[in-house]
Amino acid sequence: MSTKPPFTPLVLLVCRSASRSQLYRSVLDNKGVACLMVTSLKEVQALAAGTGFSGLLLDMPIMVKATPAERQALDDLQRALPCAYLNIAPVTDTIRLMMVNDLQGTATSIKEFAELSARFPPRLVALKDRVTLHLHTLLLPGDTSAAPVPTVTLDVSVGGCFLFLTAPLPEAGSQLSLQLISLDDPAPIMATVCWCNPFGAPGKAGPGTGVRFDLISPAQQEQLLNLVQQQTTRMSL
């Protein structure tokens, strides 16, 4: 006997095709999951800022044509919510599903995704101003006798960055010290590991780890803000 959750699950579906979305929505409806559909990735950010969602479904034809900037803008949502890509087999009309990651649970079909979403309380996701920016970085090991690990940022916001790393990846929640040697002040910055993307995982720009800056000087933060604003201006031209 199933127990009704103490909330109404709401999934955000991004799909341009009315016929494809009807197939997706019928499965969600049968599982008691409400669905809000939009036809553009540009609508996602505005909705996520004011509406709590229990999951995010992305139709593959939209993702195939998505720009790098549009894909990057989804990162925070894909880490915070159950998220999957959808496609339809051309002959059988079978719905295929692939999870973007397993941070919030796993599913192998849209039915399982609906069940996962029904257990996931709707969540508001505060999106950050994140831009593609490559800054040379040194990871400083806790063991002072070990050599620093050279790497580079793949994207940066004022509050954190995504670092290119393969194996071994640090554990989520662990702390690390890093030097952004491209800054005028390359003093060590203390950071917390928020999430990791293993080599070969789908839907991301590359393997590595996302970190949140915990201890950063005002001068470093101001320079990062200027760099992010400059890059945002270039991307909009």
The CATH number of whichever domain residue 189 belongs to comes to: 2.40.10.220
* Position 5 in a domain: no
CA distance 141 to 124: 35
Label residue 1 by pLDDT band (50, 70, 90).
Answer: very low
Residues 74 and 144 in one domain: no
CA distance 40 to 174: 36
Burial class (CB in 10 A: 0-12, 13-18, 19+), 167: exposed
Residues 111 and 135 in one domain: no
Label residue 101 by pLDDT band (50, 70, 90).
Answer: confident
Tell how many helices (H) and how many strands (E) occur in the chain.
7, 12
Domain closes at, from 84, 118, 152: 118
31-40, 63-72, 205-214: range with highest mean pLDDT: 31-40
Cβ atoms of 163 and 185 within 8 Å: the answer is: no
Weakest-pLDDT range from 36-40, 73-77, 107-111: 73-77
* Position 28 in a domain: yes
Residues 15 and 107 in one domain: yes
Residues 114 and 135 in one domain: no
| Tens digits of residue pLDDT in 78-90 | 888 999 999 999 8
Residues 137 and 93 in one domain: no
Domain closes at, from 85, 118, 151: 118
- Tell me which of 179 and 3 has the higher pLDDT: 179
Range of the domain at 31: 10-118
Q: How many domains does the chain have?
A: 2
Residues 143 and 215 in one domain: yes
Domain closes at, from 73, 89, 118: 118
Contacts of 171 (CB under 8 A, 6+ apart): 193, 196
Is this structure's pTM higher than 0.75? no
CATH number, position 87:
3.40.50.2300
CA dihedral over 188, 193, 195, 197, signed as positive or negative: positive
* Position 3 in a domain: no
Residues 223 and 154 in one domain: yes
Residues 95 and 162 in one domain: no
